[in-house]
Amino acid sequence: MSEKFEKLFTPYKFRSFEVSNRVVMPPMAIYIPGSKGYVEQRLIDYYEARAKGGPGLIIVNATYVSPVSGASHPNQTALYNDSFIDGLKKLVDVIHSHGVKTIIQLYHSGRQRFGMIAGGETLSPSGIPDPVRKDPTRAITIPEIQNLIKEFAAAALRAKKAGFEGIELHCGHGYLLAGFLSPYQNTRTDEYGGDTWKRTRIVREIIAACREAIGDEMLIGVRLNGSDYVNGGNTLEDAKEIAKILADAGAELIHVTAGMAPSGHYTFLPAEMKAGCNVYLAEGIKEAVGPDVPVIAVGAIEDPVQAEEILRETNVDFTAIGRPMFADPDIVKKAKEGRLKEIRPCLRCSKSAGVWPEDMRCTVNPAVGIEKSFEENLKKMGPSKKVLVIGAGPGGLEAARIAAIKGHEVTVMDKKDKIGGKMLLVKLRPGKDRLIDRWIAYYENEIDRLKIKVELNKEVDVATVEAFQPDITIVATGGKPLVPKAIKGADNKKVVAADDVLLGNVSVGKNIAIIGGSSLGVETADFILQDDTKKVTVFEMQRDVLLDISHDAELALLEDFLKKDIKFLTSTDVLKVEEKNGKFDLQIRRFSKPDVITGFDTVVLACGVTPENKLGLALQEKMDNVFLVGDSATPGDFRAAVHTAAQTCMNM
Ligand SMILES: Cc1cc2nc3c(=O)[nH]c(=O)nc-3n(C[C@H](O)[C@H](O)[C@H](O)COP(=O)(O)OP(=O)(O)OC[C@H]3O[C@@H](n4cnc5c(N)ncnc54)[C@H](O)[C@@H]3O)c2cc1C
Ligand SMILES: Cc1cc2nc3c(=O)[nH]c(=O)nc-3n(C[C@H](O)[C@H](O)[C@H](O)COP(=O)(O)O)c2cc1C
Ligand code: SF4
């Protein structure tokens, strides 16, 4: 093991067990369709892949303790009766078999739930609906609180029977217990509301009840917001006081997170948020609870190098690394073996598994959720074939990687002078450059490691392929900007594409119209408005902008942005772009009423892409074994490109 990771690989001894290193896999909820709260083999395979990767501790995802109303979504793992123990025991055994210790997060969703789909009644500290989820809610009564305390204790005992080393009470992110702790949700005037002491009462009582149920051996931890990041919520100073009270009440491990539904970008930390931006909260809490209570820092800790730095330079005891373990389950093992360049980086793209009703998934790692079959397929090496991949965007690169792992002789050709495809454009947008650079560096290393041949500045046509004589051709030529036929004048040569704006191929005037309010349009606006002399109007036909990204990514993007000179016109169809005296007028229909907006210097199209499939279709007519992947097959996103490419190569 390299000395570089001296702190990271220092074991830690809890009262009754020891962990081998300071990396924790934090809880990340997985919803396996149809699982009804039970542990299925796919969940075990997912955790086994991460356990093999060697974190010291795995905290199994939020698991609800009260039937129905405790869950925020269907198919979360549950522990409200004994029937759930066997599945969890199998899971614990598998995690243990790789030398990793595990605790389980117990929770009640409170008001942050989708009651319509999860069913049951939505309970909350004070009956105030969540401003984001908006589910109608009722204040939980004192007899119900007493019952809930018993439910937590019963679930803790079941966790003991399943073999967990401990439990973590989820007191963060705005769910029920966090709601009690925070004056933002808790306006009660009885013994469970009021000052900090009273607001912590429910958690203190749950800790006491759990301890009584499970005895002395097991660990009881809490996950706590170091800041709610909402007006009227807990600040770090409040959180320090709460942490001290809970530690005195018996919390033996404190895991410091942040944010609630209206400030979810501090919880899920999309790419726009700074790496490690919540670590200072854990430092503050550690200062408050003192040396005897270990503290975990979490949030956009991107790799073992950053984790080691945090452990060296701050007072925290553990670093939790979440999504990067989705993206690469072997992150800790690779650090230990000095294979840092082989770590596939998480892009913090906010498209992880866990958003109901979607199955588990990861943009950069197509194996998530199908770990076992993926691994087995990679081992199936038939006769080695000569594979040509056309295009070095995400689709082409992933196709090449998988084909090479499967033992084929792979050549990638791209007409550009760099690999990356459209990701080179994504990189130009504020906040994304560093992560995209890391993603490109990962593939550069894979290309070397797997001996993939790459020919750049090579525009491929049918003759090139005929001369090359591949056994298999993967066409990953991407897409080109869509010029909507329905908008008259959109094909005017002076109307520019968002891609060209980002690339600096065109300059924009002062007053700019962007047609299309998905992330492409809005992020292009963000890019333009780095120059604060510019003014942008975004036209979107749907009822809102940014419907293609998560709420958290939207919050992060819009946080500073709305102070700039930008206007969004939603529910607005652009009918015509008309050039008049060097300016542009836009004829629109807004909420069914016609209107004209005049005087734009530049009109930018951000209306999506159309497949670049001419070459692929021509090749399919001439030869066998030609497969189109990514945007050249169906315009989509990064994830679709990676996943269609992977799927195609798995079937090869
Ligand atoms: C500005 C912008 C922002 C985006 N932001 C996001 C985002 O935030 N999240 C997200 O998930 N998706 C985003 N996307 C979409 C995402 O980038 C694409 O879906 C993805 O890159 C498609 O991958 P691909 O491999 O299919 O094609 P591409 O990435 O387009 O790569 C195609 C490659 O093929 C090469 N090529 C084409 N024709 C030939 C030829 N004849 N010979 C040789 N080489 C050829 C090209 O040079 C290029 O390198 C964005 C797209 C754009 C344009
Ligand atoms: C898909 C997903 C599911 C999550 N589920 C939970 C959960 O069940 N309980 C919880 O406390 N936090 C949950 N989180 C938050 C993570 O534990 C973690 O705090 C967050 O992802 C930031 O850390 P990271 O940047 O290392 O991913 C989830 C995050 C993701 C991405
Ligand atoms: S989906 Fe995106 S944010 Fe989630 S782990 Fe994968 S790369 Fe990271």
Q: What is the pLDDT of residues 598-610, one digit of tens each?
A: 999 999 999 999 9
Residues 592, 614, single domain; the answer is no
Pick the last residue of a domain from 318, 344, 366: 318
Domain end among 297, 318, 339: 318
Q: What pLDDT, on a 0 to 100 scale, did the predictor assign at position 142?
A: 98
Same domain for 619 and 533: no
Structural domain boundaries, residue 238: 3-19+62-318
Number of structural domains found in the chain: 3
- Per DSSP, 9 falls in state T
| pLDDT, mean of residues 490-516 | 95
Verify whether ligand 3 is closer than 6 Å to residue 347 (CB atom): yes
Which residue among 269, 323, 638 is best mutated to probe the pocket of ligand 3, counting the most ligand atoms within 8 A of its Cβ?
A: 323
* Integer angstrom CA distances of residue 147 from 66, 67, 112, 225: 9, 12, 20, 25
Q: Which residue has the tokens 């009766």?
A: 81
Query: 589 and 635: one domain?
Result: no
Q: Which atom of ligand 1 is nearest to the CA of 630?
A: 26
For residues 115-120, average pLDDT: 86
List, in sequence order, every beta strand (DSSP E) within 46-94.
Answer: 57-64
Task: Give the pLDDT band of residue 3 (cuts 50, 70, 90).
Answer: low
Domain membership flag for residue 345: no
Contact 508, 532 (CB under 8 A): no
For 379, phi then psi, to 5°, come to -80, -20
Whole-number percent of the chain with pLDDT over 90: 86
Residue 632, Cα to own-chain centre: how many angstroms? 25
Going by C-beta distance under 8 Å and a sequence separation of 6 or more, which residues neighbour residue 66? 80, 108, 148, 151
Say which range, 224-238, 510-524, 555-569, 589-603, has the weakest mean pLDDT. 555-569
Provide the pLDDT for residue 357. Answer: 61
Residue 453 CB burial class (10 angstroms; 0-12, 13-18, ≥19): middle
Looking at residue 558, which CATH number applies to its domain?
3.50.50.60
Position 560 pLDDT exceeds 80:
no
> Would you mind telling me the total number of residues written for the chain in this entry?
652
Whether 163 shows a pLDDT value over 90: the answer reads: yes
Return the residue whose CA atom lies nearest to atom 3 of ligand 3: 348
- C-alpha span between 180 and 173 (Å, rounded): 12
Indicate if 292 and 223 belong to the same structural domain: yes
The atom number, within ligand 1, closest to the CA of 395 reads 25
Burial level of 290, CB count in 10 A (0-12/13-18/19+)? exposed
Residue closest by Cα to atom 22 of ligand 2: 299
Residue 58, SS3 per DSSP: strand
Q: Is 323 in the pocket of ligand 3 (CB under 6 A)?
A: yes
The answer on pLDDT for 614 being more than 60 is yes
Q: How far, in Å, from the CA of 343 to the mean position of ligand 3?
A: 14
Name the closest-CA residue to atom 44, ligand 1.
Answer: 414
Q: Are 423 and 436 in contact (CB under 8 A)?
A: yes
Q: Using a 6 Å cutoff on CB, does residue 14 contact ligand 3?
A: no
- pLDDT > 90? residue 133: no
Asked whether the bond before 294 is cis by omega within 30 degrees of 0, the reply is no
Mean pLDDT of 453-463: 98
Would residue 449 count as lying in a domain? yes
Taking the centre of ligand 3 as the mean of its atom positions, its distance from the CA of residue 540, in whole angstroms, is: 27
Q: How many Å apart are CA 139 and CA 116, to the nearest integer?
A: 18
**Whether residue 354 has pLDDT greater than 70:** no
In DSSP notation, 307-336 reads HHHHHHHSS-SEEE--HHHHH-TTHHHHHH
Could you tell me if 430 and 545 lie in one domain? no
Higher pLDDT, 32 or 344: 344
Catalytic residue set: 175
Enumerate residues 6+ apart whose C-beta is below 8 A from 253: 14, 166, 168, 219, 220, 221, 222, 293, 294, 295, 296
Asked whether the predicted pLDDT for residue 88 surpasses 70, the reply is yes
Phi, psi at 401, each rounded to 5°: -60, -50
Residue 118: pLDDT band (50, 70, 90) is confident
User: Span 260-289, mean pLDDT?
Assistant: 96
* Cβ neighbours for 330, distance < 8 A, ≥ 6 positions apart: 52, 53, 54, 343
CA nearest neighbour of 333 among 103, 98, 164: 98
Find out whether the beta carbon of 426 lies less than 6 Å from any atom of ligand 1: yes
Q: Of 562, 534, 564, 535, nearest to 546 (Cα)?
A: 562
pLDDT over 80 (residue 154): yes
Q: Among all ligands shown, which has an atom nearest to the Cα of 28?
A: 2
- The verdict on residue 438 lying in a domain is yes
Tell me which range, 130-139, 187-196, 352-361, is most confidently predicted by mean pLDDT.
187-196
Which of 422, 468, 482 should be mutated for ligand 1, with most atoms under 8 A from CB? 422
pLDDT bucket at 561, cuts 50 / 70 / 90: confident
In this structure, the answer to whether residues 418 and 279 fall within a common structural domain is no
Spacing, Cα 125 to ligand 2 middle (Å)? 23
Backbone angles phi, psi at 226, to 5 degrees: -75, -20
Please determine, for residue 455, whether its predicted confidence score (pLDDT) is greater than 90.
Answer: yes
Q: For 350-357, what is the mean pLDDT? A: 66
The count of other CB atoms within 10 Å of the CB of residue 617 is 13
Look at residues 332, 355, 333, 371 and name the one whose alpha carbon lies nearest to residue 43. Answer: 371
33 in any annotated domain: no
Task: Give the strand pairing for 101-107 and 166-171.
Answer: parallel
Task: For residue 273, give the DSSP letter.
Answer: S
For residue 433, what pLDDT is reported? 86
To the nearest whole number, what is the mean pLDDT of the chain? 95
Counting Cα atoms < 13 Å in the Cβ hemisphere of 572 gives 23
Question: Does the pLDDT value for residue 1 go beyond 60?
Answer: no
Which residues sit opposite 589 in a β-bridge? Answer: 573, 594
Q: What is the mean pLDDT of residues 547-553?
A: 85
Strand partners for 78: 64
pLDDT classification of 353: cutoffs 50, 70, 90? low
Residue 371 falls inside a structural domain: no
The answer to whether position 85 is within a domain reads yes
652 falls in which pLDDT band (50, 70, 90)?
A: confident
User: Does the structure show a pLDDT above 90 at 14?
Assistant: yes
Between these two residues, 472 and 429, which has the higher pLDDT value?
A: 472
Domain ends where: 273, 298, 318?
A: 318
Question: Looking at the structure, do residues 284 and 162 belong to the same domain, yes or no?
Answer: yes
Give the three-state DSSP class for 105.
strand
Q: Quick: pLDDT tens for 401-418.
A: 999 999 999 999 999 999
Question: Rounded CA gap, 591 and 573, in Å?
Answer: 9
Question: Do 180 and 302 fall within a single domain?
Answer: yes
In a domain, 57, yes or no: no
Angle between helices 41-52 and 371-379 (to 10 degrees): 70
265 Cβ inside 6 Å of ligand 2: no
Mutate to test the pocket of ligand 3, among 46, 358, 362, 638 (most ligand atoms within 8 A of CB): 362
Q: Are residues 547 and 474 in the same domain?
A: no
Decide if pLDDT at 355 tops 60: no
171: β partners? 224
Q: Report the number of secondary-structure helices (H) and strands (E) in the chain.
A: 23, 27
Distance CA 339, CA 445 (A): 11
Ligand 1 center to residue 422 CA distance, Å? 3
| pLDDT (0 to 100) of residue 562 | 73
CATH number at residue 631: 3.40.50.720
| Residue 348 near ligand 3, beta carbon < 6 Å | yes
Q: Do residues 457 and 534 share a domain?
A: no
Instruction: Give the global pTM.
Output: 0.95
List, in order, residues 6 or more apart from 515 with CB less than 8 Å away: 484, 487, 490, 521, 539, 574, 577, 586, 603, 604, 605, 606, 607
What is the Cα–Cα distance from 360 to 43, expressed in whole angstroms? 9
**Pair (419, 432) in one structural domain:** yes
Dump the DSSP string for 41-80: HHHHHHHHHHHHT--SEEEEEEEE-STTTT-SSTT--B-S
Ligand 3 atom nearest to CA at 363: 1
**Predicted local distance difference test score (pLDDT) of residue 565:** 87
Q: Which neighbouring-strand residues pair with 609?
A: 481
pLDDT at 484: 95
**pLDDT-derived band of residue 564, with 50, 70 and 90 as boundaries?**
confident
Q: How far apart are CA 470 and CA 314, in angstroms?
A: 55
Considering only CA atoms, which of 71, 47, 42 is closest in space to residue 60?
47
DSSP-assigned letters across all residues of 505-570: SS---SEEEEE--SHHHHHHHHHHTTSTT-EEEEE-SSSSS-TTS-HHHHHHHHHHHTTSSEEEE-
Q: Ligand nearest 173 Cα, by number?
A: 2
Same domain, 158 and 226: yes
For residues 480-490, average pLDDT: 95
**Any atom of ligand 1 within 6 Å of the Cβ of 107:** no
Q: What is the DSSP letter of 589?
A: E
In a domain, 500, yes or no: yes
CATH number of the domain bearing residue 248? 3.20.20.70
Calculate what percentage of the chain has a pLDDT beyond 70: 98
- Pick the residue with more confidence: 321 or 427? 321
Q: What is the pLDDT of residue 290?
A: 97
**The one-letter amino acid at 414:** D
The residue that leads in pLDDT, 380 or 173, is 173
